[in-house]
Structure 1
């Protein structure tokens, strides 16, 4: 009996502690990492740094001066020299540490050993970035941050910068329109493409930007944001009328830029510009973000008249993609599939879209359309996205870099409310007034009387 009581007294708290730790690790990974995982990984890194670097082949032979100094002062063995380690900086999702590479090493050597370092130090992933020549930063991620997305406090938001998702290295994925002016977003039904679009619109809504939408699904995707839109086309016929107006607006802005370039010879070089951002703020037109949902609907034709209309719209989209950046007009093209089979001009339009985001798709060919021409190795990552992970995507650009991202959940009601609160920021663009969607004003709720009236009887 005494032994049983002793077992319960000792084993009970241990079992409760172990169960609580396992529950915290599964349900609250950030808390588990801060309390348990982080200290354990830090201890592993400090105790095994030199041996791990040597096992990964990240050491170099010591210099002759070092060999002579060691032999003159001690009798211990002269070991290879690993990269010099900086201060370990803990974060809510992992650890950061900077390494100064030894002579003869390059960042690619460390990146090639990232998987070995992950297993040696017991973390979820290791990412390597170059800080400056000779210095790299290891970003150790303690758990799968994409399983339950939690955006960091510092997201790097700003004018025309929208933190729309979280990257797999726990850094925010920021959609920067000044850097990547046009983007193609692909995804099958229920893949999270609409959620990605919501974050873009709500991120731009509080900014002085004109939002224009083309939604050929009768507006079911973009109509909830009508209070913040400067123009909305809900079928191909309306889109055929809207696109020439945007092209004319772009041409007018180019005329404004050319007029600025033709100023007096004594004007300083800093005041001569080739885009709207070099114009004085008082003369600068507001930027325009054009959202095209289900772009394939613009390409589909049934009659010869539809083919003529299609060719005109595609030509105008290509002109906006080629020349719109300098005029402050940016494209967000979304669809389930976008390839040469859509018709003439599809491949040329896709080539102008610098940014690429590929959600879960129904076939490998669709992933190749989005990522195959910029990062072939990212195609397999896009094809491996499971249906149980909506919002997960692979983002890349024409530089060849890519990463996995996931968009946090944002309800349609909350997104529409943000647009309604920002409705007063809709810029005054005369050319787009006739395309401004009609917004029904919600009736004010009549407060209930404090005292209910009673009928007077004789």
Structure 2
């Protein structure tokens, strides 16, 4: 056996070991080159087999008859760019006249098999241009967020999509969101990632955790206000409504609608105000919304109506005032009483982890996309953290947040505790955080035992 053969065997063994134990490393070392060659070599035959070709034009057929040449072959979409990524390939193609982006989307599963990729998704970039994102391995099996993300003010990375791209929570684009998930579905981990992403930003965090604060109170050093029972939550939400009214008065006072001010400088929300006058944005996290909507007697029913009314008002009017809602729950349905479906209509962003019944998935995506409902009820129990994320446009993605322990989230919040703003209207609800206990020091030194 020659040295070259031995080296080839070692390389093949190393590639097989990497593909089994470290698929991301295998992709970056061997997989990306092999996959790019496979796509380029098979491209024409695969497009023809998938029905993504068009017959030759009439003038080409006429030219072939005049010159007595063989009839030209069918034309495939033209490749504009093939770009490798850390999780797969991005193929951008130009469609031929008569082709539609829906045809490419319908053939995604056949393209996945033909190109021997793990997954293929498509989206229309512009008229006649379609982008195929192909993943080389299961990126959701072991989530690794990229070192550099496109984070902006009020836009935080929270999960990884199945096509390898980063899933962001953009509050300025999608002000309010609903997150559903059964017990042990990964909903709490998603929430921790969200809080950890918001902690370094100049934002006030407000939490409502009616499970006696077991989820949010460990993160209290970064929260401007916290409530651990429905009575306190009702008062806190009323205070937020008063804060919203005060912000609107500030916007009216600084609206700058004189003739000399350009149209682009007229203020309509807090982001149009000068930075020195801009109020701090507020993110309200409701850990379990059902605990706020359930009641057992008349007094609790009055409190429940007061809470739901305040939530609906914040959802309808809070965006311009810089107040954003994150409503979480195991179940969210019309049986929670009046006003719940009205609240859901204002929650544009939808995220559903594994749910216990199809009705919960329908409450999340029934008015958005039937395909998303089907995908949500098919999440297996062993894949904790996998979720379906969608919005009111009808688009949806399968995502998974990286595992973040409660200790890691607490460390991030403690590190950025100095950024916690003090809002006067929320001061009565600010959590009382005690300093960590000092290590015990023995008062006397124990003498060593001598023989």
Range into which the TM-score falls when normalised by the shorter chain: over 0.9
Question: Deviations for 1:356-409, whole angstroms, at most 9, x for unmatched residues?
Answer: 000011111111111111112111111111111111000011111101000101
**Which residue pairs with 1:3 in the alignment?**
none
1:297 CA drift (Å) = 0.4
Q: Deviations over 1:317-364 (max 9, x none)?
A: 100000000100000000000101111211111111000000011111
Structure 1 residues 10, 153: closer, same or farther in 2, change over 3 A? closer
| Most deviating of 160-169 and 131-140 | 131-140
Question: Shift in Å at residue 52 of structure 1?
Answer: 1.5
Alpha-carbon distance between aligned partners in 2 of 1:78 and 1:51, rounded to the nearest angstrom = 15
Aligned residue for 2:173?
179
Provide TM-score, normalisation by structure 2. 0.93
Alpha-carbon distance in 2 for matches of 1:97, 1:73 = 36
**TM-score scaled by length of structure 1:** 0.91
1:89 equivalent in alignment to 2:83: yes
Residue 256 of structure 1 pairs with residue 264 of structure 2: no
- How far apart are 1:247 and its partner, in Å? 0.2
The CA distance in 2 between the partners of 1:403 and 1:160, in whole Å, is 21
- For residues 141-187 of structure 1, give each alpha carbon's deviation from its aligned partner in whole angstroms, at most 9, with x where no partner exists: 11111111111233221111110000011000000000000000000
Cα distance in 1 for residues equivalent to 2:227 and 2:110: 53
TM-aligned CA deviation for residue 217 of structure 1: 0.4
What whole-Å deviation, never above 9, does each CA across 1:243-287 have from its counterpart, x for those lacking one? 110000001111112222365443332221221111111111010
Alignment of structure 1 residues 3-402 onto 2, 5 Å: 20-67=14-61, 75-261=69-255, 263-402=257-396
TM-fit CA distance, 1:215: 0.3
Q: CA RMSD in A?
A: 2.6
Structure 1 contact 152–171 (Cα < 8 Å) conserved: no
What number of residue pairs does the alignment pair up? 446
Gaps of 5+ in 1: 1-5
Q: Give me the whole-angstrom Cα distance separating, in 1, the residues matched to 2:71 and 2:45.
A: 14
Structure 1 residue 108, shift from structure 2 partner:
1.4
2:146, 2:352 → 1: CA distance? 23
Structure 2 contact 256–265 (Cα < 8 Å) conserved? no
Q: Distance in 1 between matches of 2:46 and 2:376?
A: 32
C-alpha distance after superposition, 1:42-96 (max 9, x if no partner): 2222222112111222112223444466678894541111111133222221112
Runs of 5+ consecutive residues of structure 2 not aligned to the other structure: none
Q: Give 3-state SS (helix, strand or coil) of 2:81's partner.
A: coil
Q: 1:250 to 1:74 in 2, by over 3 A?
A: farther
